[in-house]
Amino acid sequence: MKKAAKHTSKAAMIAEKDRAIVLAAHEHFLRDGFAGASMDGIAKSAGVSVKTIYSHFENKNELFSKVMIAACTDHLLSGELPSDEMLSERFAWFREATQRGLMEAGREYLRHLLSAEQLALYRVVTRDADRFPELGRQYQKNFARGRTGILIAYLKSVARAKAWTKRNTTQDAALYEALLRAGIYEEALHGLLTVNSDVVEKHALASSKTMWKLLTRDCG
């Protein structure tokens, strides 16, 4: 019994060190990229030795890949895209086939897209895509399955509620994404715009007004 308890304790200690290393590496890689992050700095932040890091991960490449691919995952939407019923429970606006609902959908999209972590993640993905091509694929896969998928599902529910039988909701979502990103994403990405709730609110409102006009005009 004591031997089993000792083994469990050792495994828990190893797992805890692994988590500490990954958390510290996440911070350093998002801030400094692959080349800029040092194993010495990661070890110091994790409270372990560099030797301990290499006992958990074969090299810097392996640690970077594990940390960044995990960072690309949208944990709110881990796994498959939730059903419409689940999305309705998570987002009250999902049930609103109105311009207001469209605006709230856009605001939710922008909150995620323009968060400090997502901007930092995208910078690292583009900076190191040539060295780690899987990183770019993982980012696109998760973003498309997640936030883009929610917009498509929402616009499908709007089309059903409005009896818009001829709408291509995938194209509608792509257009709405383009409106939401226009004039704000590149600026935020390059540090030319300070993102706050007012900025997000105004941009979501303007984008949704334009999109709603297009939807209702084409189906009027």
Domain chopping of the chain, boundaries: 2-69, 73-219
The confidence band for 8, taking pLDDT boundaries of 50, 70 and 90, is: low
Prediction pTM value? 0.81
The rounded distance, in Å, linking the Cα atoms of 134 and 122 is 14
The confidence band for 212, taking pLDDT boundaries of 50, 70 and 90, is: very high
Shared fold status for 2-69 and 73-219: yes
| Listed residue (109, 77, 112) closest to 93, CA to CA | 109
Residue 17 has pLDDT above 70, yes or no: yes
For 37-163, where are the alpha helices, taking DSSP H only? 39-46, 50-56, 60-72, 84-90, 99-113, 116-128, 133-143, 149-162
Residue 9 has pLDDT above 80, yes or no: no
| DSSP line for 165-196 | TT--HHHHHHHHHHHHHTTTHHHHHTTSS---
Phi-psi map region of 193: left, alpha, beta (phi>0 left; psi -120 to 50 alpha): beta
Architecture category of domain 73-219 in CATH: Orthogonal Bundle (1.10)
Stretch 3-15: mean pLDDT? 67
- Specify the amino acid at residue 20: A
* pLDDT tens by residue, 72-86: 776 666 567 788 999
The rounded distance, in Å, linking the Cα atoms of 25 and 33 is 10
SS3 of 129, please?
coil
Fold of 2-69: Tetracycline Repressor; domain 2 (1.10.357)
Burial letters 50-73, b for 16+ CB under 10 A, else e: eebbeebbeebeebbbbbbbebbb
The rounded distance, in Å, linking the Cα atoms of 129 and 106 is 28
Residue 3 has pLDDT above 80, yes or no: no
For tokens 């692959």, name the residue. 34
* pLDDT tens by residue, 42-58: 999 999 999 999 998 99
The confidence band for 101, taking pLDDT boundaries of 50, 70 and 90, is: very high
HSE-CB of 183 using CA atoms within 13 angstroms: 9
